[in-house]
Amino acid sequence: MTTLEWEEIIPISLKEAWEFFSNPHNLSKLTPRHMDFKILSDTPEKLYEGMVINYTVRPLMGIKMYWSTEITQVKKESYFVDNQILGPYKIWHHQHHFEECKGGVKMTDILNYELPYSFFNTIINNMIVKREIQKIFTYRKESLKTLLK
């Protein structure tokens, strides 16, 4: 299992951060365009526990993948958790934490994932997957600078 963690300070209020990140439709604004992220399910604008989101994405070499995640935990203006139900990973568990701090909101993402392959996991993860995930979160960080002023 691989664990990655990111922290960043966003210069907005906790309420504004929660409103933005708890709206599943904003995920496309935080995903690189070349990944062609599209929500397929009829999805409301607010997360809730038990919510399932179905979408397609092209995470690697333009290969289209179907992905389904469930929001398993929500504590308003504090955190939410999504888990992959169907998709390219054996395990995908993503925690999103929000905390007021000096200068705005500290947002912490904790991602635990495991690839479906057993023999080549370490090689594929270190050579490709971990780097691609890091690129997505770097893109998100840069996008937030213009989206949440």
**Residues 6+ away with beta carbon under 8 Å from 121:** 114, 115
Mean pLDDT of 130-138: 92
Q: What tokens appear for 69 in the block?
A: 């995640």
Encode pLDDT of 34-45 as tens digits: 999 999 989 999
pLDDT at 149 over 70: no
DSSP codes of every residue in 11-26: SS-HHHHHHHHT-GGG
**Helical residues (DSSP H) of 6-129, grouped into ranges:** 14-21, 121-124
pTM of the model: 0.90
pLDDT for residue 145: 85
